[in-house]
Amino acid sequence: MDRISHLYAGTARGMGGTGRGLYRLALGDGLWQPLSNGLPEDAGVHALAVHPQDPATLYAGTTRGLFRIFALILARRAPWRNS
């Protein structure tokens, strides 16, 4: 089993200065990083899933459709792709 290194959270509505979208926390870091490159600005994230055979692939179910990104390249700000 792979070691867990990040936690992901999606938001559907901005509250108190928090925008809609997807965020990532590196465990032990304490800072949430927005991951919005390629996601529409008004896309609220309602669901997240990791591909069962490829844990490097993350899916986001949003109010603007289904998007996919390869989690290993998130740090390079790779764009999301509409799936």
- One DSSP character per residue, the chain reads -PPP-EEEEEESS-BTTBPSEEEEEETTT--EEE--TTS-TT--EEEEEE-SS-TTEEEEEETTEEEEEEGGGGGGTPPPEE-
pLDDT score for 79: 57
Q: Is the pLDDT of residue 74 over 70?
A: no
Q: Is 69 inside a domain boundary?
A: yes
pTM higher than 0.75 for the full model? no
The range of the structural domain enclosing residue 36 comes to 6-82
* Residue 74 lies inside a defined structural domain of this protein: yes
Q: Domain count of the chain?
A: 1
* 14 inside domain: yes
